Amino acid sequence: MARACATYAADDERTDPFKHALQRYKYGPDVSLAPALTRLMIRHCTLEVSRYDLIIAVPLHLSRLRWRGFNQALLLAHGVARRFGCLLDPFALERVRATDPQVELDERARRRNVAGAFRVSSDRRVAGRRVLLIDDVYTTGATADECSRTLKRAGAVYTDVLVLARAVLH
């Protein structure tokens, strides 16, 4: 991963209204928050989004997608791609293995948890491309790093990461 940009640094305080909104969005699930959160993400983004050839959202495993009903990162990615006129490929990167929820894991466990969990559906989709990977939360970077390595092996020139929130571990 070359660069990462986060809209907001969330801490562990229970009174944080942004954290509550993010939890409602992700676990509520309250998808009606997606447009406002996407606008917030775009407003505070320091990356030059128009220079990317391809936008990819961190994928969910099919079992998690069925349970949640939507991919929260993909909804954000749709809004970013639409705003900047960039190509979004929701099928370029796949999560091929169900992973444990990362929220209770330390950094080493998170890295083990996502190791080998992703694959590129076809190298042609990413080869020679400058990729912007979008996710909702960046905590240790384990997921972003694993996705970036997977995309690089498939021929991506580089991968930068845009997230809604950077979580702070205490």
The secondary structure of 3-27, three-state, reads CEEEEEEECCCCCCHHHHHHHHHHH
- Assigned CATH for 4-167: 3.40.50
List the domain boundaries for the chain.
4-167
Mean pLDDT of 33-57: 92
Give Cα separations from 1 to 71, 75, 143 (angstroms): 22, 22, 11
Query: Residue 168 corresponds to which amino acid?
Result: V
pLDDT at 6: 67
pLDDT at 5: 67
Is the pTM higher than 0.85? yes
Mean pLDDT of 12-37: 81
User: Residue 10's pLDDT band (boundaries 50, 70, 90)?
Assistant: low
Q: What is the mean pLDDT of the chain?
A: 90
Mean pLDDT of 140-169: 92
Token representation of residue 26: 């992700």
For residue 162, give the nearest of 51, 20, 63 by alpha carbon.
51
Helix (H) or strand (E) holding 132: strand 130-138
Residue range 92-140, pLDDT digits in tens = 999 999 999 888 899 999 999 999 999 999 999 999 999 999 999 998 9
- The answer, yes or no, to whether residue 81 has pLDDT greater than 90, is yes
Residue holding tokens 């676990």? 27
Residues 99, 66 contacting (CB under 8 angstroms): no
- The answer, yes or no, to whether residue 13 has pLDDT greater than 60, is no
> For residue 95, what are the β-bridge partners?
118
